[in-house]
Amino acid sequence: MRSPRPRPRPTVRPTPSATLLATVLVALLALLTPLLATATSTATANGAAPAPWAADRDGARPPQTSDGVVGPVARWLPPRLRARGPLAEPTREWVAPGVHLSQWEEDTVRGRIRAHLLTVQWRRPGVSVDYGNAGRVRATATVPEIAARDRGVVGAVNGDFFDIHDTGAPIGVGVERARGLLHGRRVGWNSAFTIGRDGTPAIGRREVVTRIRQHPGIPIATLNAPNVPVDSIGVYTRAWGRAAGARVTDESRRGVRVVRVVRGRVVSNNRRLPRGVDITGTVLVGRGHGARRLRALAVGSRASLVSRVEGRPRMAITGNAFLVRDGVLEALDDRELHPRTAIGIDRDAGTILLLVVDGRQPSSRGYTMLELADAMVRLGADEALNLDGGGSSTLLARRTGLGVGIVNSPSDGVARRVANVVEVRYRRPR
């Protein structure tokens, strides 16, 4: 039995009125698109951008940079056309023993980019990589200002995402070699670059555990974080800086409890959030269920707090997303273009890679997350982590005859004040 012949589909011809309507709709969309983009940028400029660590409740993606600016949408390309374009001859400069700076331009189907790379041989005697900040967790300063605080800095890039519109504090984990653990959270924002006790770099998840020895059943969510989550408890120490009042409770004063501990003893337990004074001792802030749990800490009772980072690294800093894990691309977002900063590890070469790609400029369009991950793989990274981007993206390096200075082109036109940095230091071995 023969298969029935398919009936030809009738040809539908649009009526003149339908054609006119479609034309009008397309024209309206073309007019509204830039207006919507302007409204979004204006909201961001006025400080109305959502916090970079919080996704929109309606399912919208969180901002890709601390400043919350919505980047231009990259032209869609099939994978075969996403390959890199012709490279201008890269320049390579000696920065210090075991540290080199490379810079290049690249023409692609989507436009030109300009990139800057520090390669650091972590096994080289005298070379070290460390965390740096402006002295207090919630203090901000430019990358050159932070680098100038520490001896032997020959290179640096901006670090973690931070609460740019409010407290200024970084969102994730921070460990400095000299001062130890400075800030972090138990859950969320734990994707970190670390230096282990044996000096080996790694990229992976690192949670921060803070507990009260006398009350192990009271969970602590954050340490010196920009805010205390609802129904949780956050801890603030001297490293935080000046108390921020209700800014750490999202301006909420209801359902809040504050406990102050000095030398292992509870000295106060009330609802008054300190503001504008340096923190002495340790301050615990509870919200909702967390506030109710803190009632158990009676004035005069003992309360010893201890904090540690998983794996006990000597240095740690977090970003918002893994780019590469075991040589495989993790970041697949190929939509928004931004200036970017990334840190990676090339285990075969024994190098740490610090990459900054300029963006938001006619001379350099920036990268999508997928392009950034692909670039790190091309540079040899087995593991890579995305750090803060946008106007924060800054690379500092020592250059012969010029000293230590910014070598890229920050998109704000000037160096932005940031919360922390990754520093490359060199001290001549004795």
- In the 3-class helix/strand/coil scheme, how is the chain assigned residue by residue? CCCCCCCCCCCCCCCHHHHHHHHHHHHHHHHHHHHHHHHHHHHHHCCCCCCCCCCCCCCCCCCCCCCCCCCCECCCCCHHHCCCCCECCCEEEEEECCEEEEEEEEEECCEEEEEEEEEEECCCCCEEEEEEECCCCCCCECHHHHHHCCCCEEEEEECCCECCCCCCCECCCEEECCCEEEEEECCCCCEEEEECCCCCEEEEECCEEEEECCECCCCCCEECCCCCCCCCEEEECHHHCEEEHHHHHCCCCCCEEEEEEECCEEEEEECCCCEEEECCCEEEEEECHHHHHHCCCCCCCECCEEEEECCCCCEEEECCEEEEECCEECCCCCCECECEEEEEEECCCCEEEEEEECCCECCECCECHHHHHHHHHHCCCCEEEEECCHHHCCEEEEECCCEEEECCCCCCCCCCCECEEEEEEECCCC
Give the long-range contacts of residues 266-272, CB within 8 A, separation 24 or more: 266/297, 266/298, 266/299, 266/300, 266/301, 266/302, 266/303, 267/299, 268/299, 269/294, 269/295, 269/297, 269/298, 269/299
Question: Using 50, 70 and 90 to split pLDDT, how confident is the model at 33?
Answer: very low
Closest among 338, 359, 367, 354 to 410, alpha carbons compared: 359
What is the rounded average pLDDT of the residues 294-313?
97
Main-chain dihedrals φ then ψ at residue 224, nearest 5 degrees: 50, 50
- For the CA atoms of 314, 318, 323, 326, the dihedral, rounded to the nearest 10 degrees, stands at 30
What is the reported pLDDT for 241? 96
What is the reported pLDDT for 79? 78
What is the rounded average pLDDT of the residues 246-254?
96
Say how far apart CA 401 and CA 403 lie, in whole Å.
6
Question: Using 50, 70 and 90 to split pLDDT, how confident is the model at 86?
Answer: low
What is the rounded average pLDDT of the residues 233-247?
97
Closest among 331, 345, 413 to 384, alpha carbons compared: 345
* pLDDT at position 12 over 90: no
Say how far apart CA 170 and CA 176 lie, in whole Å.
14
What is the reported pLDDT for 54? 53
Query: pLDDT higher for 39 or 69?
Result: 69
User: CB-hemisphere CA count at 13 Å for 86?
Assistant: 2
The single residue listed with the structure tokens 């983009």 is 37
Question: Using 50, 70 and 90 to split pLDDT, how confident is the model at 32?
Answer: very low
Least confident span in 13-27, 236-250, 282-296: 13-27
Mean pLDDT of the chain: 88
Return the percentage of the chain with pLDDT > 90, whole number. 80
Query: pLDDT higher for 35 or 408?
Result: 408
What is the reported pLDDT for 8? 40
Question: Using 50, 70 and 90 to split pLDDT, how confident is the model at 23?
Answer: very low
What is the reported pLDDT for 85? 64
What is the reported pLDDT for 430? 87
Question: Using 50, 70 and 90 to split pLDDT, how confident is the model at 89?
Answer: confident
* pLDDT at position 38 over 60: no
- For the CA atoms of 276, 281, 287, 290, the dihedral, rounded to the nearest 10 degrees, stands at 180
What is the reported pLDDT for 3? 36
Query: pLDDT higher for 306 or 87?
Result: 306
* pLDDT at position 125 over 70: yes
What is the reported pLDDT for 17? 52
Return the percentage of the chain with pLDDT > 70, whole number. 84
What is the rounded average pLDDT of the residues 179-196?
96
* pLDDT at position 286 over 80: yes
What is the reported pLDDT for 28? 47
Question: Using 50, 70 and 90 to split pLDDT, how confident is the model at 111?
Answer: very high
Question: Using 50, 70 and 90 to split pLDDT, how confident is the model at 63?
Answer: confident
What is the rounded average pLDDT of the residues 74-95?
81
Question: Using 50, 70 and 90 to split pLDDT, how confident is the model at 61?
Answer: low
What is the reported pLDDT for 417? 98
Say how far apart CA 279 and CA 15 lie, in whole Å.
73
Residue type at 114 in one-letter notation: R
